[in-house]
């Protein structure tokens, strides 16, 4: 066994352990030197990225991997926690680590003039570790623990600008909503444990009988995780927290939100996979029911997100409502693929949804980074207060145009690739839904063109004569995201073939997920 | 019915907490409500793990004549509850420090008076 | 009535239905149905982990990774509280 | 808040060592009796909170640096994760219990069934208990101390 094999074997544990180790080290290191602290944070993310790359090459080539904590082999009652890494997890952790790297590069200049930065970097590393843990774990209670870590850490980071009362309010709202949600998840886990005496996702998926209690568990899990992902009737925390968190952190919080979305996928496709594939036995097929409920909520999300974005005056809140609409597109694709399970366009919808997950993170992230750059340069949040910035901030303007076109789904950029897949598949399910989605997308373009005109063009305000371009690290971060967006827009097939298609296949193939654990005994 | 009374107590606690969170306007009362919900869920987990006339699953000076697995309560729910309690402490600490800051800033704990963020 | 009160009542009613229905379908108090995992732990805690206390063996050995998460949560809470009070406590 | 009356201060200073010893006992016997790192740490931290209440938070705040407590907490966390990583080194798996049954430190395997308490059992569990104990003591104490000190200050420079 070579060293490389050994590293790959232990990679799932190390991917979570290294950021945690870095977070524990951070209070000690930041007493020494400030620059050392930033370099430590960046190098830890790079190391994590290296392990993710190692693991990804192996998993994509050879199928799912297991990692059992505290024992070499699986034993019959699954008492130990285990990580199960399939292509879907690989897809998610890749997105998370890319977002984390960009956010840290951006933070280098953006956060320079603030105090409390040692705590900031500690919390950022903890948030990254918890997001990675949520995406790798194969144990429901472990998932809950990581969800709680991400909830606590996000709350603390949202309140980072403590001198603003709104930030405190947003953080309080966030922690109330998400801790109650997490307690409901714990209740659901208790119900599962009471019936089957297991906490392992694969074991539970195998023995799940779909009793009445299981239906309650399904509803609790999907509702709470959907809330954490920002689905509409429970979206009210999202604009506040996205709009008030430091923009560099918003990028990582988007990653944590997407991890909740991943939780929804895991619950529906893997935990209830057996139920879903036998759905036709019931009088009202469960997949049609769940799928159409998700589609309805998704359409409401899109419409509410766009309409609320129309009336916002605060740039970051406006982008946050656009994020709600984007989450709606993802749920629309997922709902379609569940409702039309088995038909050929279900796969297209699932792939479109997953690709849109990546694109949503990049596009909304790019817009938040640009909004952060404007805030950094002008210290103003409201759209009425900023005007004519294109004269002094040329690169930022270009990046905003890229983000605008990508969010609206215009052809040469990444948003088009995924939205086209979604429209195509949704049209086959129901044409009206597709038309509503396209109309909302066009409305989104109109909103952002209005924002572009207000913020970048227009008369130059007297206070902004000596506004400078954003510092180099912020431009580098925005450039990285914009480059990725253009790359995916030009060559969507590369990303679809290497990452999205294996992820969609792994998600649908719940039998493989179960047999990796059960067959390994 | 009689054997479901502990579960009824659990649901009662969750309802009391939910009532406080949803209908009270005072930040401290909302925090108390969340704590009560959490106690309810912890009680639920512990209740799931009880076996009739079971003792704690510890072998040190075990009462003589205890049948080995059947006479002990289940250990896993207790471990889960332990984790959940610690999580509760962390959430409580963070929420209370936010409430302290909000009180210093606005001089009131009434959510109707401090709601600056629009719906 | 305010909008918030109506929404709260709705949430409360839905939660009430869910929780009340669910508890009567669980096994009766004191008679857990399926105990394979816990019996395995109780039976093997002494020879596998060398510990007399089954709960500690679950917390630190069988589910040790959860405990790492738990320790992380306390750490996160301390970092969060210190960050929130960073100007009060220089 | 300048502390409470002399009676309270005297009572607390008598009770304080006993609380410490009880907490440390709970931590050290975590693998034998009910308790463990978290519970014992909470006991010790509540003893410290008692001190804060009786003597006033400023009195304690002047004597104990919060930065040092936070560093202690980090050390506790690093110790815990280091024991887990040692499992990776010696027993080829993260969180491996490499000391159990090795007849080294804490390595004795107890007899099956009801036994008397033997401190020298449990493998890495006592080490983890100590690490978590340090962490919880420092963590909860620093939370209580900072919050009490903040509420005793009239002016906040936010």
Q: What is the pLDDT of residues A30-74, one digit of tens each?
A: 888 888 888 999 999 999 999 999 999 999 888 888 888 887 777
What total of structural domains would you count in chain C? 1
Rounded distance between C-alpha atoms, residue A34 and residue A114, angstroms: 12
Give chain D positions within 8 Å (CB) of A5.
none
- The pLDDT, as a whole number, for residue B117 is 55
> Model confidence over A418-463: pLDDT tens digits?
888 898 888 888 889 889 988 998 898 898 888 888 888 877 777 7
Q: What is the predicted pLDDT for the residue at A281? A: 65
Q: Are A57 and D77 in contact (CB under 8 A)?
A: no
**Residue A385 pLDDT greater than 90, yes or no:** no
Six-digit token string for D113? 């069934």
**What's the mean pLDDT in A507-512?**
86
Mutate to test the interface with A, among B18, B35, B91 (most CBs of A within 10 A): B91
CA–CA gap between residue A188 and residue A218 (Å, rounded): 8
C13 falls within a domain: yes
Mean pLDDT confidence for B49-65 = 83
Judge contact between B31 and B15, C-beta under 8 A. Answer: no
Percent of chain A with pLDDT over 70: 98
What are the pLDDT digits (tens) for D7-42? 999 999 999 999 999 999 999 888 888 888 889 999
pLDDT at A164 (0 to 100): 84
The pLDDT of D75-103, averaged and rounded, is 83
Report d(CA D53, CA D60) in Å as an integer. Answer: 10
A168 in reach of chain B (CB within 8 A): yes
Domain ranges of chain B: 2-55+68-114
Residues of D in contact with A31 (CB under 8 A): 67, 71
For the cut 80, the answer to whether the pLDDT of residue D91 exceeds it is: no
Domain assignment of residue C62, yes or no: yes
**C-alpha atoms less than 13 angstroms from C-alpha of D127 in its C-beta half-sphere:** 22
CB distance D158–C56 less than 8 Å?
A: no
Whether residue A17 and residue D94 make contact (CB cut-off 8 A), yes or no, is: yes
Query: What's the confidence (pLDDT) of residue B116?
Result: 64
Residue C58 in any domain: the answer is yes
Question: What residues are paired with A65 via a beta bridge?
Answer: A85
pLDDT at res. A95: 92
C75 lies within 8 A of chain B by CB: no
pLDDT at A402 over 50: yes
- The whole-number average pLDDT for the span B7-28 is 90
What mean pLDDT, rounded, does chain A reach?
88
Per domain, the residue ranges of chain D are: 6-152
Nearest alpha carbon to residue A172 among D139, D143, B101: B101
Model pLDDT for residues A69-116, shown as the tens digit of each residue: 887 777 777 888 889 999 999 999 999 999 999 999 999 888 888 888
Q: How far is CA B76 from the centre of its chain?
A: 17
Mind telling me how many Å the CA of A22 is from chain D's nearest CA? 9
**Model-level pTM?**
0.94
* Mutant choice from B58, B59, B83, B85 vs D, greatest count of D C-beta within 10 A: B59
Residue A519 has pLDDT above 80, yes or no: no
pLDDT score for D103: 73
Confirm or reject contact between C12 and chain A (CB < 8 A).
no
Q: What is the pLDDT of residues A263-300, one digit of tens each?
A: 999 999 988 888 887 766 666 777 888 888 999 999 99
**For the domain B2-55+68-114, what is the CATH code?**
1.10.287.3510
- Closest alpha carbon to A142 in A68, A206, A74: A68
Residue B81 pLDDT class (50, 70, 90 cuts)? very high
For chain D, what percent of residues have pLDDT higher than 90?
32
Does the pLDDT value for residue A128 go beyond 90?
yes
Contact status, residue D24 vs residue D42, Cβ threshold 8 Å: no
Which position has the higher pLDDT, A318 or A467?
A318
Encode pLDDT of A192-218 as tens digits. 999 888 898 988 988 888 888 888 899
Across chain C, mean pLDDT equals 85
pLDDT at B119: 44
Q: Is residue C77 part of a domain?
A: yes
**Chain D residues bordering chain B (beta-carbon distance below 8 Å):** 32-34, 36, 38, 110, 113-117, 140, 143, 147, 150-151, 156, 158
ipTM at complex level? 0.94
Using an 8 Å CB-CB cutoff, list chain A residues near C32: 194, 197
Are B11 and C20 within 8 A, CB to CB?
Answer: yes
Q: Could you tell me if residue C42 is inside a domain?
A: yes
| Residue in A13, A21, A27 closest to D70 by CB | A27
Average pLDDT over residues A127-143: 92
Residue D104: is its pLDDT beyond 60? yes
Q: What residue numbers bound the domain in which C63 lies?
A: 3-84
Backbone angles phi, psi at B55, to 5 degrees: -110, 170
């Amino acid at each position: 066994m070579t060293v490389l094999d050994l590293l790959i074997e232990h990679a799932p544990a190390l991917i979570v352990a290294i950021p945690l180790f870095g977070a524990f080290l951070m209070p000690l290191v930041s007493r020494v030197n400030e620059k050392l602290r930033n370099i430590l944070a960046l190098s830890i993310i790079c190391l994590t990225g290296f392990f993710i790359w190692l693991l990804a090459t192996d998993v994509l080539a050879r199928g799912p991997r297991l990692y059992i904590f505290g024992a070499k082999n699986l034993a019959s009652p699954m008492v130990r926690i285990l990580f199960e890494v399939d292509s879907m997890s690989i897809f998610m952790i890749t997105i998370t680590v890319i977002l984390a790297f960009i956010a840290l590069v951006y933070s280098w200049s953006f956060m320079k003039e603030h105090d409390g930065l040692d705590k900031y970097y500690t919390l950022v590393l903890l948030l990254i570790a918890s997001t990675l843990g949520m995406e790798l774990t194969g144990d429901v209670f472990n998932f809950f623990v990581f969800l709680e870590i991400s909830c606590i850490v996000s709350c603390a980071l949202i309140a980072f600008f403590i001198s603003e009362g709104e930030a405190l309010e947003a953080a309080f709202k966030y922690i109330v909503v998400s801790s109650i949600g997490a307690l409901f998840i714990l209740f659901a886990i208790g119900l599962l444990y009471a019936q089957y005496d297991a906490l392992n996702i694969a074991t539970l998926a195998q023995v799940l009988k779909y009793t009445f209690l299981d239906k309650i568990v399904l509803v609790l899990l999907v509702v709470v995780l959907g809330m954490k992902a920002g689905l509409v009737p429970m979206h009210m925390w999202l604009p506040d927290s996205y709009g008030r968190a430091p923009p560099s952190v918003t990028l990582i919080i988007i990653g944590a939100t997407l991890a909740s979305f991943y939780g929804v996928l895991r619950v529906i496709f893997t935990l209830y996979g057996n139920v879903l594939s036998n759905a036709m036995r019931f009088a009202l097929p469960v997949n049609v029911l769940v799928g159409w409920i998700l589609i309805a909520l998704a359409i409401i999300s899109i419409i509410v997100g766009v309409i609320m974005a129309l009336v916002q005056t605060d740039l970051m809140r406006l982008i946050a409502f656009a994020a709600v609409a984007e989450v709606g597109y993802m749920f629309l694709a997922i709902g379609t693929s569940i409702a039309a399970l088995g038909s050929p366009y279900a796969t297209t919808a699932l792939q479109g949804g997953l690709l849109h997950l990546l694109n949503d993170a990049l596009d909304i992230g790019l817009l938040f980074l640009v909004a952060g750059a404007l805030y950094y340069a002008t210290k103003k949040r409201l759209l009425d207060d900023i005007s004519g910035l294109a004269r002094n901030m040329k690169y930022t303007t270009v990046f905003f145009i890229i983000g605008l076109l990508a969010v609206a789904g215009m052809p040469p950029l990444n948003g088009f690739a995924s939205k086209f897949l979604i429209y195509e598949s949704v049209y086959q399910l129901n044409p009206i839904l597709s038309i509503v989605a396209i109309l909302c997308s066009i409305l989104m373009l109109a909103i952002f063109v209005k924002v572009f005109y207000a913020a970048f063009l227009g008369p130059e305000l007297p206070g902004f004569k000596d506004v400078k371009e954003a510092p180099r690290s912020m431009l580098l971060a925005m450039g990285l995201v914009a480059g990725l967006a253009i790359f995916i827009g030009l060559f969507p097939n590369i990303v679809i073939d290497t990452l999205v298609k294996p992820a969609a296949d792994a998600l649908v193939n719940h039998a493989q997920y179960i047999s990796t654990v059960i067959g390994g005994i | 019915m009689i054997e479901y009374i502990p579960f009824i107590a659990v649901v009662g606690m969750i309802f009391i907490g939910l009532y406080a969170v949803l209908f009270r306007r005072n930040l401290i009362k909302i925090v108390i409500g969340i704590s009560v919900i959490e106690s309810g869920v912890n009680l639920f987990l512990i209740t799931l793990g009880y076996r009739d006339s079971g003792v704690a699953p510890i072998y040190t000076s075990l009462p003589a004549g205890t049948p080995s697995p059947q006479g002990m309560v289940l250990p896993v729910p207790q471990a889960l509850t332990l984790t959940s309690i610690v999580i509760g402490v962390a959430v409580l600490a963070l929420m209370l420090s936010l409430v302290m800051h909000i009180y210093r800033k606005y001089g009131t704990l009434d959510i109707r008076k401090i709601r600056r963020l629009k719906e | 009535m305010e909008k918030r009160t109506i929404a709260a009542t709705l949430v409360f009613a839905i939660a009430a239905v869910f929780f009340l229905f669910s508890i009567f379908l669980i096994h009766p108090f004191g008679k857990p149905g399926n105990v394979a995992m816990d019996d395995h732990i109780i039976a093997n805690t002494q020879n596998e982990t060398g510990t007399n206390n089954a709960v500690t063996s679950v917390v630190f050995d069988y589910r040790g990774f959860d405990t790492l998460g738990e320790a992380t949560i306390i750490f996160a809470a301390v970092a969060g509280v210190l960050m929130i009070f960073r100007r009060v406590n220089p | 808040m300048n502390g409470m009356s002399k009676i309270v201060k005297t009572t607390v200073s008598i009770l304080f060592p006993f609380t410490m010893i009880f907490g440390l006992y709970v931590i050290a016997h975590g693998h034998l009796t009910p308790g463990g790192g978290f519970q014992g740490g909470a006991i010790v931290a509540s003893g410290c909170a008692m001190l804060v209440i009786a003597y006033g938070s400023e009195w304690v705040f002047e004597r104990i640096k919060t930065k040092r407590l936070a560093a202690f907490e980090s050390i506790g966390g690093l110790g815990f994760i280091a024991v887990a990583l040692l499992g990776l080194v010696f027993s080829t798996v993260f969180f491996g219990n490499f000391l159990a049954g090795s007849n080294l430190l804490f390595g004795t395997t107890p007899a099956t069934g009801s036994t008397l308490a033997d401190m020298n059992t449990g493998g890495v569990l006592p080490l983890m208990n100590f690490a978590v104990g340090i962490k919880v003591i420092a963590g909860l104490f620093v939370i209580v101390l900072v919050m009490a000190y903040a509420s005793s200050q009239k002016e906040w420079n936010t």
